Amino acid sequence: MLKNQIKKGKLKFIMINSIVTNIFACKSGFMKRILFLVLLILFSTSSSLYAQKLWSLQECIDYAISNNIQIKQQQLLEQVAKLNLLQSKASVLPSVNAAASHAYNYGKTIDQYTNQFASSTVQSDNFYLVSSVTLFNGFQLLNSIKQNKTDLEVSRYDLDKMINDISLNIATAYLQILFNKEILNSANEQLKITEQQVARMKKLVEAGTTAKGTLLTLEAQAATEELSMVNAQNSLDLSFLTLSQMLDFTSADSFDIIIPEISTPGESSLLTSPDAIFSFAMGVQPEIKSATLKVKSSELGLSIVHGMRSPSLSLRGSYGTGFSGASKQIKGTPSYTGLDTIGYTFDTYTPVVMPAFSYELETVPFNTQINDNINKSISFSLNIPIFNGWQVNSSISKAKIAIQNAELSLQTAKNTLYKILK
């Protein structure tokens, strides 16, 4: 990797030297400005090549946590869990809905506001406001809030676990680079020592004091050690590539790390028993907490399903009004037209008359009907489940299976942690 950087540096130096020569040789002012701009770009990239950033372990971990796609997806899942919790809390509040309708009726019908038959086309408008609230449904709403709150904690612990896993993977790749660097340095030092021995042995062979076979053996050893150094360099380049890919870098050519100063741990820290470490990890590891809360969430899910067997009581209220084209009133003052016979007496068969008037009808104004047709209602509704296609029993059985599965997942997490620490 270092040889590639040197080659790139030499190539850029040749390009810069050529551009400088052309700047002094060029007579055109415009071309001089263009060449000078290219020169500035090459200088900036050249300086970044030699002044590359050295990454510490903490910087690598912070960068990976900030840019990892899986972590961003888990953060989105946490936001979804927050919205689910908010929605379950809002479900306790009353629902309020408003509606309006405009209709035309053709044919014979009973008008809902005049309660009379209407045979002509009738225009009608309806406006109403409805509100309802669940008073009791077997504590399903309350248990849903508890379950969504638990699920939110689970998503947060899952995020912590993902951060821990990525941090551990980054640290492992970082340590692998340090290990490969030490192997390369050791192979390089060993090759230098062997080359010195080869040079000394050549002089002894030329002086005739040592057999040439010994020299050939040393040269073969030097060739083997040179191959080991090449392999160590390849392993180092591969470990750099692995870490850069974990950081989502496009290239590992200008990537290097800081070699930290590592102090030897104290004797007391090495004497901690595996059981003590396991007991401590059981209380702090996010995967254990997440699996434990998933068991609790499954148990709350069973409580929610049991609530489906309970009767539910709800309160409903409405406020409405409307307008009907069939609602008529007398227009103006009626005029007297005489007497109309409306019947006869039983014994003498004498006509029975009453005054007759002529008048004209008009539709009752919209505002008047809106004020006169106001209606209000309040009602309680009780729903008692008796038989619903065995859905409740099936849901309860599934919820119990979910609890068993969550308990097995918790035990698996404990076993995995125990194997790692042991």
Residue range 157-172: mean pLDDT, rounded: 95
Range in 54-58, 126-130, 361-365 with the lowest mean pLDDT: 361-365
Taking the C-alpha atoms of residue 244 and residue 67, their distance in angstroms, rounded to an integer, is 13
Taking the C-alpha atoms of residue 142 and residue 229, their distance in angstroms, rounded to an integer, is 67
Tokens at 399, concatenated: 């919820």
Residue range 60-70: mean pLDDT, rounded: 92
Q: 111-137: string of b/e by CB count within 10 Å (b at 16+)?
A: bebeeeebeeebebbbbbeeeeebeeb
Residue range 129-139: mean pLDDT, rounded: 95
Tokens at 395, concatenated: 């849901």
* Residue range 77-114, pLDDT digits in tens: 999 999 999 999 999 999 999 999 998 888 777 777 77
pLDDT of residue 41: 52
Residue 344 clears pLDDT 50, i.e. is over it = yes
pLDDT of residue 327: 85
pLDDT of residue 20: 44
Q: Does 133 or 420 have the greater pLDDT score?
A: 133
* Residue range 284-343, pLDDT digits in tens: 999 999 999 999 999 999 999 999 999 999 999 999 999 988 888 888 888 888 888 888
Residue 17 clears pLDDT 80, i.e. is over it = no
* Residue range 39-64, pLDDT digits in tens: 455 444 443 443 367 899 999 999 99
The answer for residues whose C-beta is within 8 angstroms of residue 43's C-beta and 6 or more apart is 16
